[in-house]
Amino acid sequence: MIISTGTASGKSLAYLTPAVASCLDGGMVLYLTPTKALAADQLRGLRELRITQLRAACFDGDTPFEERTWVRQHANYVLTNPDMLHRSILPRHAQWSSFFRRLRMVVVDECHGYRGVFGSHVAQILRRLRRVCARYGSQPVFLLASATASEPGAFAMRLTGLEMAEVTSDGSPKGATTIALWEPPLTELRGERGAPVRRTATAEAADLLTDLVLAKVRTLAFVRSRRGAETVALTARAKLADVAFSLAGTSGLSTVDGSSSTASAPAGGTPGALSLSGGQAIPSAPPDHGISPPSSAQDPHPALPDRDGTTSPGSDPGATPPGSDQGALSWGASESDPADWADLPDRIAAYRAGYLAEDRRLLEKALRSGSIMGLATTNALELGVDVSGLDAVLIAGWPGTRASLWQQAGRAGRDGQEALAVLIARDDPLDTYLVHHPQALFGQPVEAIVLDPDNPYVLGPHLCAAAAEIPLTDTDLPVFGPTTPNVLDDLVTEGLLRKRPAGWFWTKRERATDLADIRGGGGAPIQVVESATGRLLGSVDEPSAHTTVHTGAVYLHQGETYLVELLDLEAGVALVGGAEPDYTTFARDVTEISVLASLRSHDLGPGSLHFGEVEVTRQVVSYLKRRLQSGEMLGDEPLDLPPRTLRTRAVWWTLPASEVATLAEEGFDLGGAAHAAEHAAIGLLPLFATCDRWDIGGVSTELHADTGLLTVFVYDGHEGGAGFAERGYARATDWLTATREAIASCECERGCPSCIQSPKCGNGNEPLDKRGAIHLLDTLLRSTPAAAS
């Protein structure tokens, strides 16, 4: 069964009721979640039930080793994640034999997060789980919970390999949410080829977060990267510190009752602390963006949460007095402590993966209680962690899917309150398209979730892991999918498995689970080490290392900024040193592509559209340096890194020579037109396939060696493919129509990052022909494509 309904619609109750009932009846429950934060939040809720027969416990990377034995032997409701299931529980299934024998239900929560390559890995882990359960004589019910998704039953069947019933009717009450589409202004700065540069989404998010916190609006700011979340929090804290400092030096502040008060910093006190006399002080409003707290049609001063987590009606003494600026900070009677002004910066924090477990729990508790009013986070808090009481959500950059957008927006107003959600556009083709075409967001169905569990580069390592757990037999093959026999033959040829009359066996001494890097792209991870101390800061998967920890890259870890001094791929180490650069870095690569096989094709206007297998050779050649707050380009530094070869899948389209000649006669730069169309198409594909721009790549050429024609490729950036290019092939007309519209509607003259320029381009965004790209796409879209062959 899959339950696919909106945020705060009661999905947790729907699976908790039968799950707890199973435990009371002597059964076991396994709860899977993509994040440790959600598991900890669920555990807190289970313990609040105070049911003595319910022995719930987390089993994840934060669980102390001395507690893990107790969990295996005594817990009847185990909360974990796919990583621990893959690396610890399934390989040691004999130690969990009593648990698996009585396993009645597997709850897969927030399953819409299992997409792309990660989702494909999880699909195979769940098949291994089913096989282990069968070994111990259990056949648990799988109950999945998801945010609203297109075709949830079909997705759940691909994820689990089981027939699925679906529940999609959502009758839960909800407060109104005001959605703002926010485009940062153009600056006077110029980027590559003189293109105008917009103010960054993170800079806008920091300003808005500051304003909302000053207005006592409890706010969550979603930022796409760990580095961005830290930057937004640090910038907003600095702005609040400036406000506190200015207030400390201000005298004669007006009060609620109209009397005057004197503000001064106490001798020897913390800078920014206020000494108040007389009535309750109200500062003048800081410059704001015109964002007001969520309002009610019946009540012009709605109830907003105070710092202690309670709510104060707008008419109480702590409310903004009539005639004052709506953005002014209003303190309640309980907040007359002068030190409160100095504490302003402490009302904002950052939250992301990589923090210690106890730090994450403290932040979650502080946000719920109201002692923190603003939190900048990655999508680690997108999932169902209970952070009720929020008033507003800022989303810095398109989160990748409509499902994620509504999931993040749904974090506010979870108790039926009215709420505010602001989508802040990045300087990116897709973000710019969406803020100018709201019809692409509102009233549209959410996307289908894309995953490909039959990808041989995903399936192979999990077949090895399954054989190491319990030798594979012919009866197991249907569990893992139709491509299993061919992949098994390849594994035997490579010496990874041995075929015997009884089945397939893992015979190596190494751990088979190490072959599958379920959240990375494969290969041994690169260790990130602080050069001055030898301290291990973290790790990066090998394919990502070329773009994230190359020499000269800016690397952020738990609020501290580092510069990569050296990337040694042979040693598997990136040495970093502490620094405070005022810029960020973007790796750029050059790419060559060859066609291995065209699997499907059909006509597209006068041209043709193809989907098939390709081999891509990529080499990171340089990195851009851009100023952190403004986006101004500071330079392009060369790099010397080896090329990487990728066998994957791609969608590509071609134009015949006759059409190309016509475009050339009209004076268009054919290479520049194809190049511009490629960049924009990469930017818009995430609207039609559940992927990120950085999950895909592209190549364009006026004359490709394998096709003999003008050709534009867009390929999956993961070994074996991830299903993104295939989705683009299926939605090609809609996808390319949106691409054409995004280019044509951009207000720039010759092209900019909002339409046809790409930060990944290894050719320095040369050549590009904006008008030529529009005519090229018009030519392709001249008629509806014929049925696929």
Distance CA 764, CA 586 (A): 12
Handedness of CA 40, 45, 49, 54 (dihedral sign): negative
N-to-C CA span, the chain: 35
Phi-psi region of 540 (alpha: psi -120 to 50; beta: other; left: phi over 0): beta
What pLDDT sits at residue 157?
95
Q: 0.85 cut: is pTM over it?
A: no
For residues 755 and 743, the answer to whether their CB atoms sit within 8 Å is yes
- Give the three-state DSSP class for 775: helix
- Give the three-state DSSP class for 154: helix
Distance CA 62, CA 42 (A): 15
Whose CA is closest to 648, among 723, 705, 589? 723
What pLDDT sits at residue 584?
84
Q: How far is CA 339 from the centre of its chain?
A: 37
Contacts of 520 (CB under 8 A, 6+ apart): 541, 542, 543, 544
Query: In angstroms, how far apart are the furthest CA atoms of the chain?
Result: 93
What pLDDT sits at residue 380?
63
pLDDT band at 313 (very low <50, low <70, confident <90, very high): very low
* Average pLDDT over all residues of the chain: 82
What pLDDT sits at residue 30?
98
Percent residues over pLDDT 70 in the chain: 83
Percent residues over pLDDT 90 in the chain: 48
What pLDDT sits at residue 35?
81
pLDDT band at 274 (very low <50, low <70, confident <90, very high): very low
What pLDDT sits at residue 536?
87
Distance CA 153, CA 144 (A): 10
Distance CA 272, CA 249 (A): 8
What beta strand segments (E) does 134-237 contain? 141-146, 166-167, 177-182, 186-190, 196-198, 219-223
Kindly report which listed range (263-272, 407-416, 456-465, 633-642) carries the lowest average pLDDT score: 263-272
Mean per-residue pLDDT, 9-17: 90
**225-264 pLDDT tens trace:** 777 888 899 899 999 988 888 876 653 433 333 333 333 3
Distance CA 365, CA 369 (A): 6
**409-457 pLDDT tens trace:** 888 876 667 899 999 998 888 898 999 989 988 887 777 777 888 888 8
Mean per-residue pLDDT, 648-655: 96
Distance CA 651, CA 614 (A): 9
Count CA atoms within 13 Å of residue 269 on its CB side.
17
What pLDDT sits at residue 560?
73
Exposure letters 754-772 (e unless 16+ CB within 10 A, then b): bbbbbbbbbeebebbbbbb
Judge whether residue 143 has pLDDT over 50.
yes
